[in-house]
Structure 1
Amino acid sequence: MVRILLAEDDESMRAYLARALERSGYEVVAVATGAQAVPHIDGDRFDLLLTDIVMPEMDGIELAQHAAAVAPDMRIMFITGFAAVTLKAGKAVPQAKVLSKPFHLRDLVLEVERMFGTESLTGQN
C-alpha cells in the first residue's frame, strides 16, 4: 500500500484531502505543519510527501528539501494556491510535481495514481 505523508496547515483542507486519498486506497498520515512532519520523515517510511508550500514554522519547500536529503526515494508533490511560489518550488525541488489550488479531488487522486502506476479502489478509472 502506498503511504502518504500529508502536511497541510488548513485543517478543513487537510481532513478533506486525507479522506479522499484514504477512500482511494492510500494510507495517509496527516499533520498541520512542516515541523510536525519532520519526525515522521526521520522515523518512518513514506512513498509520497504531499505538502502545501505556504505554511507557518517550516514551509513546504524546506520540508521537501529535508525529505529529499533524508529519504531520497520519497516522491514529492506540492499543493499551492500561490502561483509565484510554484516557480520557487520548481527550482528548489525540480523532481517534484506541483498541483495548483483550486483542484478537484479527482485530479489529486489521478496525479498520485500516475506517480505510482496504481489504480484507485474507487473503480472510476
Structure 2
Amino acid sequence: MGIQLIKIAAVYFFIGILLGMYMSINHTYNYSSIHAHVNLLGWASLGLAGVIYHLFPAAGESIFGKVHFWLHNIGLPLMMTGLFLLVHGYEAVEPVIAAGGILVTLGVLSFLYTVFTNIGTRHDK
C-alpha cells in the first residue's frame, strides 16, 4: 500500500508542477486553488501516508488503511475536476466538489484511525 501511494503522490507532484508552470508562463492564476489542493492533498499528504504505510505495513494492509487509499484516491480527482469546472463558470458542479471533499475527509479520518490503532502497537513490526 505504501509504495502505491508514493507512486500516486509522484503523479500528483508532476501535475502540480505542470499546473504551476502553466500559470506562471501565462501570468494567469485562476487555477491556484487547484494547484494548492493537488500539491497538498495529492503530493504531500499521499506521499507522507505512503511513507507511513511503508514503514508500518500492518497499517497499510488494515481495512481502514485500504479504505483511506480508495476514498482519498476517488475523492481527490472528483474534487479537483469539479473545482476546474467551477473555475470555468459551471456553478452547478459545486455538489461534485462537496462530494469529493467529503470522500477525502472520510479517507483522512480512516487514516487517522489507522495510525492510532496500528502504529505504536505490537502490530507495527
TM over 0.5: no
Structure possessing the higher radius of gyration over alpha carbons: 2
TM-score normalized with structure 1 length: 0.29
- Work out which structure has the larger RCO, using CA pairs closer than 8 Å and 6 or more positions apart in sequence: 2
Higher helix proportion: 2
Select the structure that is richer in strand.
1
TM-score of the aligned structures, taking structure 2 as reference length:
0.29
